[in-house]
Homo-oligomer: A and B are copies of this chain.
Amino acid sequence: MKYKIAVIMGSDSDWSIMKEANELLLEFDLEPIIKIISAHRTPKDLEFWANDFEKNSIKVIIAGAGGAAHLPGMMAAFTSIPVIGVPVNATSLNGMDSLLSIVQMPKGIPVATVAINNAHNAAILAVSILGSFDADIFMKLKKYKDNLAEVSRNKKLPPN
């Protein structure tokens, strides 16, 4: 049975960014559960989904949002499942607004924030969380990183 990771976002316009989380999770043979949940447009659904994720043994929630990005923080407020936030660059402020809205959470309710637009890293972080309890995934992640190293070492610079 595969581990389930929720990948949620405030709007379908976030998909072009968030799909990289989906791809990485599939690459690690995990089961992404993809949902559009808007903290602002569907606030009454937040509690339902938080409960649903807990009932379905979701291990990690990856939440992407732009602007006054409340989705990751609100999901963290409604559940004790770890929440990873992806600040999406969606306004004229280059993602600084979403970064601060996601990372500056108050005492008691953290969101694990990754780089602006870096949904890929949110998925890697989810994998490393699973890896802390699942030796196979830990080894797989080690190999993934060894491979990153190898690719980096073999890079050739373009002829100049």
- B12–A156 touching, CB < 8 Å: yes
Q: Which of A39-89 contact B (CB under 8 A)?
A: 39-47, 59-60, 66-68, 70, 73-74, 76-78, 80-82, 84, 89
Q: Is A99 an interface residue (CB 8 A)?
A: yes
A93 in complex: contacting residue of B46, B95, B157, CB < 8 Å:
B95
Q: How far is the CB of A150 from chain B (nearest CB, A)?
A: 9
Q: Is A28 an interface residue (CB 8 A)?
A: no
- A128–B42 touching, CB < 8 Å: no
In the complex, what residues of B have CB within 8 A of residue A133's CB? 59, 132-133
Q: Is A30 an interface residue (CB 8 A)?
A: no
- B11–A152 touching, CB < 8 Å: yes
- B157–A36 touching, CB < 8 Å: yes
In the complex, what residues of B have CB within 8 A of residue A45's CB? 149, 153
Q: How far is the CB of A106 from chain B (nearest CB, A)?
A: 5
- A80–B138 touching, CB < 8 Å: yes
A80 in complex: contacting residue of B60, B89, B141, CB < 8 Å:
B141
- B41–A149 touching, CB < 8 Å: yes
A100 in complex: contacting residue of B77, B100, B141, B148, CB < 8 Å:
B100
A41 to B93 Cα, complex, angstroms:
28
A34 to B12 Cα, complex, angstroms:
33
- B67–A106 touching, CB < 8 Å: yes
A120 to B138 Cα, complex, angstroms:
26
- B118–A82 touching, CB < 8 Å: no
